[in-house]
Structure 1
Amino acid sequence: METTTTNRLYKPEAMIFDMDGTLFKTETLLIPAYHELFDRLREENLYEGETPPEELMLSCLGMLLEDIWRKVIPDSSEAVRRRADELLLELELAGLKEYATELYPGVKDTLEALSERGVRLFVASNGLEHYVKGVAEAHGIHHLFEGIYSAGEYLTASKVELVRLLLDNHGIHSAWMVGDRSSDVEAGKKNGQAVVGCAYAGFGQGPELTGSDVLITSFKELIRLYDQAEKS
């Protein structure tokens, strides 16, 4: 499948990346941590019954954690959801050291190539601060980013707000928002930026990426897109 372009792209000052489903193959960490999380909740008498389907959790990637738990464990109390937050972070940070987690193919090389071209690189994620930074550190890409922004650190209510804060803090006027969910498309468009939709992850398919300026089927396509983009 070839890159699908719907709008003309101009060379940006910066690229802003979602983490889960864009840079990081989230399921390599999330699935084992997710099952262990519910084992712990049952041990602590905070949850009864079977673990909700892992597909349900994967379908929520890109949402704020509080919205994820409302969908995954809708009948649980606020206290149980807060405990789930704590356990998930604990298990994921441990899992980054224990499990064979993966970035998508070509992520590190592509980020390095973009950095060499003078592109300013950032992350904007709806995840928790220590998780998002932990993934970047575990996979040796932390140093490539000028800033790693997370909803968990900045307490933003939406990715639109998080990206606006990032743009303002760093004086960025032109950027590509690169992500795999509708929240990424919205964050780019509502902040007046181009959007590159990532159609390779399997989570953000179909209507999720409607409104993107271009769709890519591998991360490495970003280099060609940047090199062929017009100067603004």
Structure 2
Amino acid sequence: MQNAIIFDMDGTLFKTHLILEGALEQTFDKLRAELLWEGETPLEKYKEIMGVPLAVVWETLCPHHSLVIRERSNEWFQQFLVLQINAGQGDLYEGVFDTLQQLSIDLPIYIASNGQPAYLQAIVTHYDLNRWVKKTYSIEQIASRDKSSLVQKIIEENNVAGGFVIGDRLSDFQAAKENGLQSIGVRFDFAQQQELETADFVVEQFTSILPIIKGKMPSIV
């Protein structure tokens, strides 16, 4: 058994907002071109629900569309996201490289994300995160699409005894609590104050994660 650190991806490690608007706009441009959407792109609505499973995203953004159209929209969206990642239009939050490098010396690091596998792999590959991250898990691997169950899967597969879940949304903090881990909330772009209040710790900068973990696990880093 071992301690481990589990990171969320969007809004925690990766600045999703840098590619979100462009990819969403392109997706709704295609919907408009096929006469399947009228009006503006619902970007603000997406920002409000950022972090929920993708099926919920498209149910929310396109409540009057068929499942087939929602799935097609998500396919387009994912393609546009990956294209922007590969083009270098995204970025990681300041301090991610150094913090992951230092943590990985003594602790295994995993990613648990609501993102789809191809999208996550594009980020991991573009920034070479496998230098420090043992494995990246997608919510697509869990039939229930539940973040707590995804974290449970990581714990069981890797003999994790304790550690932290680090993220920006309520699902991350609940996943930590329900699996006997501590949580660190990052007050970044998609974070909401009411949700952050349920985290064990809250940071304003990514580098502030390190002293919290070291304080709770003084034998590391």
TM-score range, shorter chain: over 0.9
Partner SS state of residue 20, structure 1? coil
Identity of aligned residues (%): 30
User: Are the equivalent residues in 2 in contact too, given 1:29–1:99 (CA < 8 A)?
Assistant: no
Q: CA deviation at 1:122?
A: 0.4
Q: CA deviation at 1:136?
A: 1.6
> What are the equivalent positions in structure 2 for 1:103-118 lying under 5 Å apart?
103-116=92-105, 118=106
Q: CA deviation at 1:167?
A: 0.5
Q: For residue 49 of structure 2, what is the aligned residue in structure 1?
A: 60
Q: CA deviation at 1:48?
A: 2.1
Q: CA deviation at 1:151?
A: 0.9
Q: Distance in 2 between matches of 1:166 and 1:209?
A: 23
Q: Distance in 2 between matches of 1:102 and 1:134?
A: 12
Per-residue deviation, residues 36-93 of structure 1 (Å, max 9, x unmatched): 0111122233x22123331211222110001111111111111111001111111111
1:35 aligns with 2:22: no
Q: For residue 100 of structure 1, what is the aligned residue in structure 2?
A: 89
Q: Distance in 1 between matches of 2:154 and 2:217?
A: 24
Question: What is the TM-score with the length of structure 1 in the denominator?
Answer: 0.89
2:124 pairs with one of 122, 136, 155? 136
Question: What is the TM-score with the length of structure 2 in the denominator?
Answer: 0.93
Matching residue's letter, 1:224:
P
Matching residue's letter, 2:134:
E
Higher relative contact order (CA 8 A, sep 6+): 1
Matching residue's letter, 1:138:
H
Q: For residue 3 of structure 1, what is the aligned residue in structure 2?
A: none
Matching residue's letter, 1:86:
E
* Structure 1: gaps (5+ residues): 1-11
User: Are the equivalent residues in 2 in contact too, given 1:133–1:142 (CA < 8 A)?
Assistant: no
Q: For residue 10 of structure 2, what is the aligned residue in structure 1?
A: 20
Per-residue deviation, residues 188-210 of structure 1 (Å, max 9, x unmatched): 101111000111x1311211123
Partner SS state of residue 112, structure 2? strand
Matching residue's letter, 2:151:
V
Partner SS state of residue 202, structure 1? coil
1:89 pairs with one of 66, 74, 78? 78
